[in-house]
Amino acid sequence: MQNSDKKKQEVNDNGFTINKHNEFIKVQMIKRQMTLTQAKLFDSIIATIQYLIKNDQIDASMELQEDRILRIDYNLFYSCMLDGVSKKRINKKEIAQGLDDLVSITYKWMTKTGFGSASIFTRAEIDYTTNEVIIQLGKDFNKARVIPQQEYTKMLCGNLNMLRSIHSRILYQYLKMLLGSNTEKAFKNTIYLSLESIQRIFSLNKKDHQSYFSQPNILVKRCIKEPIQEINKNDSLDIVVNFELKKNKNKTIGVTLFFHHKKTNYDSEYLKSDFNQFKKQVIEKYKGKSVIQGVLNYSLETTFSINQNSLIVNNTTQKVLSSDEAYHIWSFMYKNQSLIGKFFSHKELLLKEYKSKTFLMNNELFTLVDIEDGDIEDTFTLVLENNEKTIGRIKSMSKEQIKGLQWQ
């Protein structure tokens, strides 16, 4: 590759995109779960190949020699891996560990006449002497799966790389696939997942993930709740997700996910006008009043109001926010307009913070199932579940006592 520094600058200005075949999004379901590094390597390879095809540096037909080897400029590939992350260096050992197992990744297919599985890569190597990433495609690999067609999901590599856990990365891609590319009209914006479906989507197995099979609360926490928290708290991501637990009596049997595209294109003249009109209406309605609670990156208990000068005030600190802080609040309100004017009760706040979490008491672990109003004013009854799935209750707990439990 020539002029690699120039190419690197062009990519950083525009950002990498990856058009990922939906079967590749499901590739984590095969045999075992990818590590986060393996997922980044896999996506960076596909995104870099697509970038080279788009810029006429690889023939779109991907006509290869018999050995089916592609040689990719290392600087370009490295830029893709760093796209969207704050750190500007990746440890070589980390890359080497990811490459070690990359060749074991397979995908499967099913047709009317049969089914099968095949390796995607049979060789993955980085040669620092030639400054190349050397990829050998499996002999049964269908090159058409790299060329964007109908069954593809378009994503920004920077968005993928912002996610710090493999579970968040898998869930984000899965939801993007379900939403589809039309941001005005989603292909699907809700789905029910049984516990078995969650285990399959995240490539979990009983040998490596025993607690995910024996304790549904851990499965939901690690694969659904925590990834959703990471996705929602990142203002740069383009989707919003919520979920509801589904139970049969007191037993968790699955979750229902609700998700939609964000309005994020603030460069659009329409959205600039739309946002300004939105802001004007909110100020008119809520001047001198509290306006929002539950803003990302703030405590759930923190509420914000609009003072008589139309400025945003943190009601906890009673301080007027700086312009940057206020922009964050306005941006959150614009993307989450259904939350404006809605405030949580003490019970709702406690449930949002602690439901499905575990705490230690008398050397035994308990999971919080629900919180009920107590018999005494300003107290609550905790509904608990131990490891034997026995339901119990602790009555007359104050908010401070609940917060003071040994939460794990």
Domain covering 346-407: architecture:
Roll (2.30)
Tokens of 352: 């949002």
Q: Is 240 left (phi over 0), alpha (psi -120 to 50) or beta?
A: beta
pLDDT-derived band at 291 (thresholds 50, 70, 90) equals: very high
C-alpha–C-alpha distance, residues 305 and 288, integer Å: 7
In the structure, what pLDDT confidence band is assigned to residue 56 with cuts at 50, 70 and 90?
low
pTM greater than 0.85 (yes/no): no
The average pLDDT across 147-164 equals 71
CATH code assigned to 165-262 = 1.10.10.10
- 230, 167 in Cβ contact below 8 A? no
133 pLDDT tier (thresholds 50, 70, 90): confident
Pick from 297, 307, 306, 308: which is nearest to 340 by CA?
306
Give the CA diameter of the chain.
78
Q: Residue 128 has which token pair?
A: 């620092």
Given this model, what pLDDT does residue 374 score? 86
CA 406 from centre of chain: 28
Cα–Cα distance for residue pair 403/407, rounded to 1 Å: 8
- Taking the C-alpha atoms of residue 163 and residue 231, their distance in angstroms, rounded to an integer, is 7
For 112-135, what is the mean pLDDT? Answer: 80
Best CA proximity match to 193, nearest among 214, 224, 167: 224
Rounded to an integer, the average pLDDT of 179-193 is 77
Confidence grade of residue 146 (pLDDT, cut at 50, 70, 90): low
Instruction: Decide if pLDDT at 83 tops 50.
Output: yes
Are 93 and 15 within 8 A, CB to CB? no
* Segments making up each domain of the chain, as ranges: 1-162, 165-262, 271-339, 346-407
Residue 403 has pLDDT above 80, yes or no: yes
pLDDT band, very low/low/confident/very high, at 29 (cuts 50, 70, 90): very low
Q: What is the pLDDT of residues 329-358, one digit of tens each?
A: 988 888 778 788 988 888 888 888 888 888
Q: Which span out of 130-134, 206-210, 227-231 was modeled with the highest average pLDDT?
A: 227-231
pLDDT tens for 361-387 read: 888 888 888 898 888 888 999 988 887
How confident is the model over 240-265, as a mean pLDDT? Answer: 84
Is the predicted pLDDT of residue 226 greater than 80, yes or no? yes
Q: What are phi and psi of 378, to 5 degrees?
A: 65, 25
